[in-house]
Amino acid sequence: MNRLGKHFLRDSLNGKTHVGGFGKHPAWDDHIDDIGVATETLVQAKQILYSEGIASQLASGAWNEIEKSGQAIEFDHRFVWSRDEQSIIGSIWASADRKGRTRFPMTACIQAGCNGPAATRLFLAFIERLGLLCRTAKTQEDVRNSFDQARAEVNGPMLHSEKLYPSERETQIPEQTIVPALVTLSAGLNPPGRSVSGKAGRSTGASFRLPATSKRMNENLEFWSGYMARHRKADWPYLIIAPVAKSWIDLIVGQPISDDFYCLRANESVLPTASALAETKRTRRLEEEARCYLQGVAAGSNPFPQNRRSWWSRLLARR
């Protein structure tokens, strides 16, 4: 993974949480001046997601046909991009510049020193509020002030409030769709580096479209990030992209390629969820493991990797 290398989601944060933004906004004539993109990780995230991923899909015309056929969805996504004990929580929404050009979205993100499930629980609400403030902002100063406000909040004492810590899951997981998805995902991640998404010759990662576990964004991201935090190869970043009010998530494991971001505009007819694998001795074993995992989630057991204490439990222990 040359592009992700040694530094992506490996910054020396020293306890600081970073808030950044990039893309298009009506207060700017063109792409906005990056706001708070101050770490190497956020620079790389913008490059991979926006400058290469989204821009390449637009330049190639990849989304033109599905737009014409009515099978495209709008930009309105939340994502968690995680690696070990560092993560980015972000929001992508449809936007425009002052000249009315609407092809590129705007993105806001928070980088913090915690793994995917903890980052989702702690910062998803902040990223939702920041997105709302940006969408209603009229001037460049208003936008920058919104980021300044979010930055102060996520680095302030409010973050340590008990109400920001895990709560019980409110919706039941649909086992009939999630168990086959977990089996397919587990099989695709082992052996590592093998893509099951039909991208010939790919050797640096894998991509999957998987069913949502809940209509609640927090539960959806927490479930899939919890599974990846427990099961992925330790050195691989994983990116979970969840469109709002849709029945799927997209998962990119390892080194993203530009075509991975086709998923941002493709509906389930164009890009269906992963299909179940034929039953074998191996898939039966993976199904047993999947059911055990679901039972643990339903019982409220800790979805974090078992070989380390969670970020938020360590924080509570210091209080």
Domain count, the chain: 1
Residues 49-68 pLDDT 10s: 999 999 999 999 999 999 99
Residue 301 binned pLDDT confidence (cut-offs 50, 70, 90): low
Residues 221-241 pLDDT 10s: 999 999 998 876 657 899 999
Q: For residue 266, what are the domain limits?
A: 1-319
Residue 106 pLDDT > 50, yes or no? yes
Q: What is the mean pLDDT of residues 11-20?
A: 95
Quote the pLDDT of residue 234: 57
Q: What pTM was estimated for this model as a whole?
A: 0.89
CA atoms within 13 A of residue 72's CA, in its CB half-sphere: 18
Quote the pLDDT of residue 315: 35
Residue 43 CA, distance from chain mean position: 16
- Any idea what the Cα angle at residue 75 is, between residues 33 and 81, rounded to 5°? 75
Give the closest residue to 237 by CA, choosing from 120, 83, 118: 83
On whether the CB atoms of residues 27 and 138 are closer than 8 A, the answer is: yes
Residue 174, both tokens: 């649909």
Cα–Cα distance measured from residue 239 to residue 228, given in angstroms and rounded to the nearest whole number: 10
Residue 36 pLDDT > 80, yes or no? yes
Percent pLDDT > 70 in the chain is 84
Q: What is the mean pLDDT of residues 40-55?
A: 96
Residue 38 pLDDT > 50, yes or no? yes
Q: What is the mean pLDDT of residues 139-158?
A: 93
Task: Examine residue 191 and say whether the peptide bond preceding it is cis (omega within 30 degrees of 0).
Answer: yes
